[in-house]
Amino acid sequence: MYISAQIFIVVSSVLYGLSCLAKDKKILFVVQIFSSLFYGLHCFFMGAVVGGIVTIFDILRVVIFYILEKVGGTQKQKIFSASILFVIAIICSACSWEGWFSALPLAGALIFIVALAISRLLLIKCATLISGMCSATYLFLSNSRFGALVELIPVVLALVGIGISVAKMVKEKRKNT
């Protein structure tokens, strides 16, 4: 179980980090769905129940945002659906509270929900960075030291993705002036 959990976190971290290099929100969503699936398996195998529960709702949230993005859903629909899932995640997390650090996956999820609701690719990448840092801290405090170390992969890749996006924005701005 332990070795499987470590393999899952490596796959999850690589996928999550690669999602930050996506040039399109739909690709970002699909890659993050698979990343979250592996992350949730890692959490459950390591006994980090809150992380696993929040991840289930992360998967549902990203699927809903993907569908709404595809069919042209309104901002109001995105915020409403994300809010419902977040409230359910809080209730489930309260039932399996492991200590103050159990708030970290929820904080990362909340930041990500806000970024998804605003629906700007650069902001989503920044939220991915912050969520990754929350996740690494949670895993470290849940005694998944290897998972916490591997979770730094998406943090670094998020920084690279943010840098690429900002460089493109600057280049386009220079063209237009």
Q: What is the pLDDT of residues 26-62, one digit of tens each?
A: 788 888 889 889 988 888 888 877 777 778 877 887 7
Has residue 66 got a pLDDT over 70?
yes
Has residue 162 got a pLDDT over 80?
yes
Angle, helices 25-46 vs 2-19, to 10°: value is 160
Q: Per the structure block, which two tokens stand in for 33?
A: 């769905």
DSSP 119: T
Q: How many domains does the chain have?
A: 1
DSSP structure string for 138-166: HHHHTT-HHHHHHTHHHHHHHHHHHHHHH
Give the number of other CB atoms < 10 A from CB of residue 145.
10
Mean pLDDT of the chain: 82
- Spatial contact of 159 and 129, defined as CB atoms under 8 Å apart: yes
> Span 95-110, mean pLDDT?
77
Q: How many residues does the chain have?
A: 177
Band (96; pLDDT cuts 50, 70, 90): low
Global pTM reads: 0.69
State how far the Cα of 16 lies from the Cα of 174, in Å rounded to an integer.
Answer: 31
pLDDT of residue 38: 92
Core vs surface per residue 80-103: b (16+ CB within 10 A) or e: ebbeebbeebeebbeeeeeeebbb
State how far the Cα of 84 lies from the Cα of 109, in Å rounded to an integer.
Answer: 13
Q: Supply the range of the domain harboring residue 51.
A: 2-176
